[in-house]
Amino acid sequence: MKIDPTKPVELKKQGQEQFKIRWEDGHVSIYPFRYLRQNCGCAGCRSEITGERLLNPETIPEDLKGLKVELVGNYALHFLFSDQHTTGIYPFKVLRQLCPCTECNSI
């Protein structure tokens, strides 16, 4: 059986500051909620046509919190942030690409 590096085996909210995903291949990703909000791919934050970022990531409050996390089908997560932003859907494939760890950022 092939291991899928974009399939989560553990999803865990760690307080209101970060979210943890352990992937099927054993890798663990820790996402600060502010980082997730800064990388939102919704139509209000990123152009649907060009993919260009419309959101200035520096406008996201330093103390942003993750209030709620919901599973979207078997393919994505939806977050409610303390700035009341609720329109982003984060597919697991995208979340794996967004992993902020040094191992993933050195690839």
Q: Which residue has the higher pLDDT, 105 or 23?
A: 23
- The answer to whether the beta carbons of residues 72 and 79 sit under 8 Å apart is no
The pTM score is 0.93
Q: Give 56-88 pLDDT, tens digit per residue.
A: 999 999 999 999 999 999 999 999 999 999 999
The closest alpha carbon to 66, from 88, 42, 91, belongs to: 88
Domains of the chain with CATH codes:
8-105 (3.30.2020.30)
DSSP H/E element including 97: helix 92-97
Close Cβ partners of 42 (under 8 Å, ≥ 6 residues apart): 87, 88, 89
